[in-house]
Amino acid sequence: MSVDPIPEEYGSLVVQLVCGDANAAIAFYVGAFGAGELYRQLEAAGPKIVYSEILLGRSRAMVHDEFPERGLLSPTTIGGTPTTLMLYVEDVDATYAQALAHGARGVSAPEDKFWGVRSALVLDPEGHRWLLASRTEDLSPVEILERAQNEPPSARVPEGG
């Protein structure tokens, strides 16, 4: 019997989130984004989360505490993040409000974008940047490029923090 090298339930890309307080982070993801916690493994010598998995929509993510001795540091510890996590949701406005209610900091409020999505940007309490998005139109790459030509340069760059 052969083993599939890429487990179907994971896809080929899985995000691993390093957090200063993984327990609080998981509670935030459950409350703010409706995540489901699949399981967690605690450190043998203490309460730190060595490994956990959550389900965000149809995607899995791993969440664990910092382990500085292994170079695993949270965005809060290193002073920010160069990465943005894009999360497709059913209702951007409702998810944005829910995230703020659970302690996220709003970076940009929900708005319609020329490439056919409504999106908003938040920083979670651990310093991870989340782009919340719902598709509003089915557009081809050609249609998006045509629309981009009519937009100011500032509207054509990725959303930041």
List phi, psi (to 5°) of 141: -55, -35
Q: How far apart are CA 68 and CA 59, in angstroms?
A: 27
28-55 pLDDT, tens digit per residue, is 999 999 999 999 999 998 789 999 999 9
Looking at residue 28, its pLDDT comes to 98
Q: How far apart are CA 160 and CA 29, in angstroms?
A: 21
Looking at residue 160, its pLDDT comes to 62
Domain 15-156 has what CATH class? Answer: alpha beta
What distance separates the 2 farthest-apart alpha carbons in the chain?
Answer: 58
Give the residue extent of every domain in the chain: 15-156
Closest to 161 measured CA to CA, from 72, 60, 77, 79: 79
The pLDDT confidence band at residue 121, using thresholds 50, 70 and 90, is very high
CB 17 within 8 A of CB 84: no
Whole-prediction pTM value?
Answer: 0.90
